[in-house]
Amino acid sequence: MFDKEKLEGIKETKAEYQKKVAKSLEKFPERKKQFVTGSNQEVERLYTPDDIADLDYEKDLGFPGEYPFTRGVQPTMYRGRFWTMRQYAGFATAEESNKRYKYLLEQGQTGLSVAFDLPTQIGYDSDHSLSEGEVGKVGVAIDSLKDMEILFDGIPLDKVSTSMTINAPASVLLAMYIAVAEKQGVSSDQLRGTIQNDILKEYIARGTYIFPTAPSMRLITDIFEYCSKDVPNWNTISISGYHIREAGSSAVQEVAFTLANGIAYVEAAIKAGLDVDTFAPRLSFFFNAHNDLLEEVAKFRAARRLWAKIMKERFNAKSPKSMQLKFHTQTGGSTLTAQQPDNNIVRVAIQTLAAVLGGTQSLHTNSKDEALALPTEDSVRVALRTQQIVAYESGVAETVDPLAGSYYVESLTTSIEDAAMDYIQKIDALGGAAAAIEKGFIQKEIMDSSYEYQKQVESNERIVVGMNKFQIKEESPKGLLRVDPAVGELQKEKIQRLKAERDNKAVEVKLDNLKKAAQGEENLMPLILDAVRSYATLGEICGVLREVFGEYQQSVIL
Amino acid sequence: MDLAEGLLKKDKRAAARLISMVENNNQEAIEILSKLYQHTGKARVIGITGPPGAGKSTLTDKLTKALRRQNKTVAIIAVDPTSPFTGGSILGDRVRMSDLYTDTGVFIRSMGTRGHLGGLSKATLGAVKVLDIYGFDYIFIETVGVGQSEIDIVKASDSVLMVMVPGLGDDIQAIKAGIMEIGDVFVINKADREGADRTKVEIEMMLDFNHRDWRPPVLKAVALNNDGIDEVIEKLYEHYSYLEESGKLLEKRRNNSEMEILELTHRSLMDELLNEGNKNEVRNLVEEVVHRRLDPYTASNQLIRKMLDTRRID
Amino acid sequence: MARPIRVLVAKPGLDGHDRGAKVIARALRDAGMEVIYTGLRQTPEQIVQAAIQEDVHVVALSILSGAHNHLLPKVVELLKAENVYEDILVLGGGVIPDEDIPFLKEKGLAEIFTPGTPTQVTIDFIKNNLRREL
């Protein structure tokens, strides 16, 4: 990017500058011996053109909307329209969550994001013994199509886009969504939204898995195939680095392991006979935004460039849409402190900037009280307002990729991409992401980073404001949102009523059909949809699949 | 709680506490085991070993479930290495066996190697005795097949199950010397992976060099899917019948007893040698030897004579 | 021979967030303890049986699902029913609001460690509060 002679000159002056600084350091030492980013990459004193001498503008950065998409996936980015502001919400019953969704839409939110409770995520009905105490706690409890109908009551599904954080039983919840739309008179090709559907990161970091790897991958590719024909505007997977980062990974590891999982899904779909350009445009990603603003921006840019190269070079994708890494971002839950929770608003604002400067397509901002409990309505509003302030007041959305060309950001972008690529090659050598997970390699790498971070915080090498420095005496926060423990009983009653009212013969037949199909090789989506329409419960459907597929065995390497 | 009585009444708390005491070299526990020794010898003890990542815990889990379906009770001792630096350890084998926790006919105990010098087999053998007295039909000892002390442990079992995985290649060459000859039944786990048949042939070839009356069978299994588990159990039964009918069981147990007695003796002599009273004596002898006033042979003889004298006075 | 403190680190409830459990497991190991790790989704029954058979000094329960008021007291109840509670120090950790802590302590949890607690605090607490001799 720079002329050779000029570069030589800069190199020389830089050496002189470093010499001068070295002398003055005796009198005025720097704060630390070594400076590192939020995830322990070394940071130099100063970045100059010399640090990005090899950068080729056309090849490495290009123009927004064009390969390799370093500067963004759309030509005009936020000058066209802002990112989708999408707050993840859901708790207790479908009735209560429905109220919260309507409130958020009134407040100017532009998309829905459904949080399910743990029993739903693991495929148990609310009346299962393992569901005790868990019903409605971290999200909404959905046992059957009945609950789903209530959840979206009065919300026109052809008008909103809905993201659902659901993985192991993703096909069941998607089927319920399609069935609700049918009842609203909305055809499935009008539906827009995303299911998370990313089982590999469940094995790695999030833990809500059900089935072993092979049948899980089959369910996923069944969805890819089904949606490419019947629900063409649906994002069939959201390949998630978010939880990998929450588990304690570094920024590099977040990119590396997420893209390695992405590679595994693409390979599985190709192996199942799908053409890469039919499903790849519907792949989407989900990343975390932490506090190290510039490292995070570089991370998003590196991920975009690396994925474009992978799709083009490794998988021979032809459509540019297949090469675009589109992503949702959530601010980092693990960065929030239970101490002085108001400080979290500031953290979230920085993280919002990182996501926006990094070119995100949609964003969830965490509420200040999430280190303590589920967010209250007030704190959710502040979180949403944070996005709106960045969008309307900060000015960062007025031009595309404003940090491009920063010596530091470009240098970091390249180093993150290179380090992530090294990991991907290691994972390839282990036999791909699934094998690397089974061997515990990925989990161990994350665990090492997480433990390292913990030790840095405990030794005060790393400062977390309000937690290990600048503490105050404070009273316990009041007015936290609590889920009524009666929710469990309520859901149980609902299931009993459902089972008394529905045509149980029909349910039995549908479940039996599903079982036979699961033993064979046909696409399971239509059969699941059929079972859902007859009001078979989530637990019944997953139960049948558990019988045929078995359950995943955790791989723990500490 | 009277531990001896509790153990005979099949109280798991008593069994668990006694194992801890044995691990801690507690004299009271040793007295209890001496007193109840006549109740041992009924359990079938099976060592399960193999390289890390071979799926030993999963296999143990499935074998246990299969035996439980036949109404046999099973105890599992899972041995994991202890950090030589901090003395701590994370014992994670249980993760793959969590369905078994609440089964009343199953007992699972995790053990760290704790850097015992040869003391590991003492602790493990003690635990086996506790579980044998308790009355478990089967006792599995699961351990990574590396290091002499682990080999010593599995040697003490009636049958040794060697767990392999496809594609070990050079690894097989490396481990064959120490481990191949102690396996009584070989299982290639994760046999749905590429190279299972080749690994089987390689192991068979190596076994061809070993001329034993019992030719170890080489089986294939996918423990995760419960494939091949019944065959493993069948072959373990066969091996046990072979041991009984050929008289090898007694021979094996004779060898094991001999080894145990010698080792216990060795350990207590060493303990006594290094106790406070003798430390000075040793130190003096060292000084003599280092200054060439005495040779090490004579020094050692003097020490032995002194110890024998003290023992006689006792 | 050293007699290490034996600790069962367990995750009751259905949440899969085991970062905290794993960090504490490593920290206790590095403090010279023997840590028995049970993995995710453990029922109170499973946890109590494991605690008995492993003859642990400490049961450390990590939970982030919000079901703590239901599941943690249940572990204590079952330990009492098995007559082993007197010997075992029962600790809780995870996203647990301050206002729930008095209730949990009343139910028999010795201490609750919330996010941001240095691992050394937990280690010291264990060393100073064992309920039986090593």
Q: Which of A434, A458, A482 is the last residue of a domain?
A: A458
The CATH number of the domain holding residue A329 is 3.20.20.240
Chain B contact partners (≥3 CB pairs within 8 A)? A, C
Same domain, A438 and A509: no
**How far apart are the CA of A461 and the nearest CA of chain C, in angstroms?**
13
Same domain, A443 and A509: no
Q: What is the SS3 assignment for chain B? A: CCHHHHHHCCCHHHHHHHHHHHHCCCHHHHHHHHHCHHHCCCCEEEEEEECCCCCHHHHHHHHHHHHHHCCCCEEEEEEECCCCCCCCEEECHHHHHHHHCCCCCEEEEEEECCCCCCHHHHHHHHHHHHHHHHCCCEEEEEEECCCHHHHHHHHCCCEEEEEECCCCCHHHHHHHHHHHHHCCEEEECCCCCCCHHHHHHHHHHHHHCCCCCCCCCEEECEHHHCECHHHHHHHHHHHHHHHHHHCHHHHHHHHHHHHHHHHHHHHHHHHHHCCHHHHHHHHHHHHHHHCCCCCHHHHHHHHHHHHHHHHHHC
Would you say residue A390 lies in a domain? yes
State the average pLDDT for chain C: 94
Closest A-chain CA to B99: A553
Q: Per residue in A425-458, pLDDT tens?
A: 999 999 999 999 988 999 999 999 999 999 999 9
Where in chain B are the domains?
3-246, 274-313
Segment C51-58 mean pLDDT: 98
pLDDT value of residue A86: 86
**How far apart are the CA of A121 and the nearest CA of chain C, in angstroms?**
9
Instruction: Provide the pLDDT confidence category of residue B172 given band limits of 50, 70 and 90.
Output: low
Instruction: Provide the pLDDT confidence category of residue B149 given band limits of 50, 70 and 90.
Output: low
B98 touches chain C (CB under 8 A): yes
Where in chain C are the domains?
6-126
Are B94 and C39 a contacting pair at CB < 8 A? yes
pLDDT value of residue A179: 98
pLDDT value of residue B256: 86
Same domain, A231 and A345: yes
**Cα(B62)–Cα(B223) distance, integer angstroms:** 7
List CB contacts (< 8 A) between A205 and chain C.
16
Segment A169-179 mean pLDDT: 98
Same domain, A172 and A309: yes
User: Does B116 have pLDDT greater than 70?
Assistant: no
Same domain, A232 and A375: yes
Would you say residue A485 lies in a domain? no
List CB contacts (< 8 A) between C14 and chain A.
118-119, 121-122, 130-131, 134, 208
Closest A-chain CA to C101: A476
Q: Which two tokens stand for residue A323?
A: 């090469």
Would you say residue A534 lies in a domain? yes
**Cα(C28)–Cα(C127) distance, integer angstroms:** 11
Lowest mean pLDDT among A40-49, A329-338, B178-187: B178-187
User: Does B313 have pLDDT greater than 60?
Assistant: no
State the average pLDDT for chain A: 94
Would you say residue A67 lies in a domain? yes
Q: Which two tokens stand for residue A424?
A: 């991907």
Check if the beta carbon of residue A92 is closer than 8 Å to that of residue A136: yes
Q: Per residue in C86-128, pLDDT tens?
A: 999 999 999 898 889 999 999 999 999 998 899 999 999 999 9
Interface list for B 110-139 with C (CB within 8 A): 110, 112, 114, 116, 119
Would you say residue A46 lies in a domain? no
Which one has a higher pLDDT value, A376 or C56?
C56
A431 touches chain B (CB under 8 A): no
Query: What is the domain extent for residue A63?
Result: 57-80+155-458
pTM of the model: 0.92
Instruction: Provide the pLDDT confidence category of residue B115 given band limits of 50, 70 and 90.
Output: low
Q: For residue A157, what are the CA distances in angstroms to A289, A328, B36? A: 29, 20, 73
Contacts of B271 (CB under 8 A, 6+ apart): none
Are A553 and B53 a contacting pair at CB < 8 A? no
Nearest beta carbon to residue A208 from set C16, C19, C71: C16
Q: Per residue in A254-282, pLDDT tens?
A: 999 999 999 999 999 999 999 999 999 99
Would you say residue A355 lies in a domain? yes
Interface test with B, best of C53, C74, C126 (most B CBs within 10 A): C53
Are C16 and A447 a contacting pair at CB < 8 A? no
pLDDT value of residue B147: 62
**Cα(A145)–Cα(A533) distance, integer angstroms:** 7
User: Does A229 have pLDDT greater than 60?
Assistant: yes
pLDDT value of residue B177: 57
**Cα(B312)–Cα(A110) distance, integer angstroms:** 92
Would you say residue A446 lies in a domain? yes
Q: Per residue in B248-273, pLDDT tens?
A: 999 988 988 898 899 888 888 887 77
**Cα(A203)–Cα(A188) distance, integer angstroms:** 30
Q: How many domains does chain A have?
A: 2
Are C22 and A447 a contacting pair at CB < 8 A? yes
Same domain, A322 and A440: yes
pLDDT value of residue A175: 98
**Cα(A300)–Cα(B43) distance, integer angstroms:** 60
User: Does B235 have pLDDT greater than 80?
Assistant: yes
Query: What percent of chain B clears pLDDT 90, i.e. is strictly above it?
Result: 53
pLDDT value of residue A370: 83
Amino acid sitting at position B182: I
DSSP-assigned letters across all residues of A106-168 = HTT--SEEEEBPHHHHTT--TTSGGGTTTTTSSSB---SHHHHHHHTTT--TTT-EEEEE--T
Same domain, A241 and A293: yes
B39 touches chain C (CB under 8 A): no
Strand partners, B271: none
Contacts of A202 (CB under 8 A, 6+ apart): A167, A168, A208, A209, C16
A451 touches chain C (CB under 8 A): yes
Contacts of A356 (CB under 8 A, 6+ apart): A78, A83, A363, A390, A391, A396, A397
User: Does B276 have pLDDT greater than 80?
Assistant: no
Is residue B206 left, alpha or beta, with left meaning phi > 0 and alpha meaning psi from -120 to 50? alpha
Q: In what helix (H) or strand (E) does residue A529 lie, and over which residues does it extend? A: helix A525-533
List CB contacts (< 8 A) between A439 and chain B.
53
List CB contacts (< 8 A) between A558 and chain B.
90, 92
Q: Is the dihedral of CA B66, B69, B71, B73 positive or negative?
A: positive
Q: Tell me which CATH homologous superfamily contains domain C6-126.
A: Cobalamin-binding domain (3.40.50.280)
Same domain, A274 and A421: yes
pLDDT value of residue B120: 67
Nearest beta carbon to residue A556 from set B53, B92, B225: B92
**How far apart are the CA of A279 and the nearest CA of chain C, in angstroms?**
29
Contacts of A20 (CB under 8 A, 6+ apart): none
Q: What kind of architecture, by CATH, is found in domain B3-246? A: 3-Layer(aba) Sandwich (3.40)
Same domain, A451 and A517: no
CA within 13 Å, CB half, A542: 25
Would you say residue A478 lies in a domain? no
List CB contacts (< 8 A) between A539 and chain C.
none
DSSP-assigned letters across all residues of chain C = ---PPEEEEE-BSS----HHHHHHHHHHHHTT-EEEE--SSB-HHHHHHHHHHTT-SEEEEE--SS-HHHHHHHHHHHHHHTT-GGG-EEEEESS--GGGHHHHHHTT-SEEE-TT--HHHHHHHHHHH-SS--
